[in-house]
């Protein structure tokens, strides 16, 4: 019974915190959408990614803390039961987790199928400036796709290769390099697995994808008019080769064009070409030193507060169990 109670509390905490944090994220997204449009693509991407991942991260943290408080402070011989309220919450937590796992599993299956189909008959291609190994494939969809998180592979369709000019191919490779540097495939993997109830995070996810593509476009163009125009032209060629919505969700993958936000990207590239503005600053990833400092601060804060936090949390859980029974 102790195990069932503990599991119910963990799942219930996950559901409750996920729902509250999702509402907060949706509210913030609504308030910030107007202001976000004025941010550069990198900051906008960080904002949308943060909001999209926040509910799952907060829920996961809550679940871990509840599990720790329960394991450490719940007496072995306690005979509390799982009430109907807690059962409903636990079921919601289980449903959320199952939905996330199903999404990841489906994408994993689609990616495996994609890799088997594409690598059969594919030919390796030596391209100067390519960020990863490149495979030339006969399938037309997707025309250009970067697949994989740790050691990604770039798949380029023969039809796209034959339609690109050398300048267009160079800037497309630079665009994919920007995705590799920004670790966008890892981010898509996290987004895919991060629970957000009822698919309500879809718009935030689309906004993040759009910002990530725009940032990779900016990095690839580097503020040069001719590169901006070559990328715009390559995007339009790919759009003609790729019917909208023809590609399902893949695990840890980005494609040059997914059928959304194309006009906006081309207009931005045209505006960049007109202004001839300088290269965007930074490479979009915070410095290692700053990350280590943040991580050290967060870990020491957590370590210092746990001896006080866990007993208090356990007392709160006792009240919750009584109220929901």
Partner 1 sequence: MRLPPRNPVPEPVQGLGPLEQQVMDHVWEVGQPLRVSDVHAAFRTSFAYTTLMTTLDRLYKKGLLGRRKDGRAFLYSARLSREALHRRVARRALDALLGRDPRTARPVLSTLVEAVSDRDRHMLDELERLVAEERRRTDPRKR
Positions touching partner 1 (CB under 8 A) are: 34, 225-226, 229, 232-233, 236, 239-240, 244, 262-263, 266, 270, 273-274
Q: Which is nearer to partner 1, 24 or 225 (CB)?
A: 225
Residue closer to partner 1 (CB basis): 187 or 268: 268
CB closer to partner 1, 244 vs 325? 244
Q: Smallest gap, in angstroms, from Cβ of residue 225 to partner 1?
A: 5
Sign (positive or negative) of CA dihedral 284, 290, 294, 299: positive
Name beta bridge partners: 157.
137
CB closer to partner 1 out of 31 and 279: 31
Would you say 148 or 272 has its CB closer to partner 1? 272
CA distance 140 to 22: 38
Q: How far apart are CA 93 and CA 13, in angstroms?
A: 8
**Degrees, nearest 5: CA angle 92-61-27:** 70
Nearer to partner 1, 35 or 113 (CB): 35
What CA–CA distance (Å, rounded) separates 275 from 14?
Answer: 48
Contacts of residue 34, defined as CB under 8 A and 6 or more positions apart, other chains included, come to: none
In the complex, minimum distance from the CB of residue 280 to partner 1, in angstroms, rounded to a whole number: 19
Q: Distances from the Cα of 20 to the Cαs of 56, 69, 169, 212, 316, in angstroms?
A: 11, 21, 46, 27, 18
Q: How far is the CB of 32 from partner 1 (least distance, A)?
A: 12
Quote the least distance from Cβ 137 to partner 1, whole Å.
Answer: 23
Shortest spacing between CB 45 and partner 1, in angstroms: 20
CA separation for the pair 62, 165 (Å, rounded): 52
Min separation Cβ 142 and partner 1, Å: 16
304/204 Cα distance (integer angstroms): 34
């Amino acid at each position: 019974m102790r195990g069932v109670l503990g599991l119910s509390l963990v799942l219930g905490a996950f559901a409750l915190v996920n729902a509250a944090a999702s509402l907060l994220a949706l509210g913030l997204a609504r308030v910030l959408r107007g202001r976000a449009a004025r941010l550069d693509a990198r900051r906008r991407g960080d904002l949308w990614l943060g909001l999209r991942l926040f509910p799952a991260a907060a829920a996961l943290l809550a679940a871990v803390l509840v599990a720790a408080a329960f394991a450490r402070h719940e007496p072995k011989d306690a005979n509390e039961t799982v009430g109907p309220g807690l059962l409903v919450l636990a079921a919601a937590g289980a449903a959320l987790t199952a939905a996330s796992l199903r999404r990841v599993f489906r994408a994993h299956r689609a990616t495996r199928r994609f890799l088997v189909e594409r690598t059969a008959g594919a030919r390796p291609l030596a391209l100067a400036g390519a960020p990863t190994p490149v495979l030339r494939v006969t399938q037309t969809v997707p025309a250009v796709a970067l697949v994989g998180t740790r050691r990604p592979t770039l798949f380029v369709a023969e039809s796209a290769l034959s339609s690109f000019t050398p300048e267009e191919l160079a800037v497309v490779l630079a665009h994919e390099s920007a995705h590799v540097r920004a670790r966008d495939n890892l981010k898509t993997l996290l987004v895919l697995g991060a629970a957000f109830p009822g698919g309500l995070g879809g718009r935030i996810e689309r906004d993040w994808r759009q910002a990530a593509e725009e940032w990779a476009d900016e990095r690839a163009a580097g503020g040069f008019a001719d590169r901006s125009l070559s990328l715009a032209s390559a995007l339009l060629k790919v759009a003609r080769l790729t019917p909208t919505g023809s590609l399902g969700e893949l695990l840890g993958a980005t494609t040059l064009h997914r059928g959304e936000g194309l006009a906006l990207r081309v207009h931005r590239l045209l505006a960049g070409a007109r202004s001839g503005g300088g290269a965007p600053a930074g490479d979009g990833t915070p410095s290692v030193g700053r990350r280590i400092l943040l991580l050290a601060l967060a870990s020491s804060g957590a370590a210092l507060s746990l001896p006080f936090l866990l007993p208090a949390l356990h007392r709160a859980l006792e009240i919750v169990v009584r109220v929901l029974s």
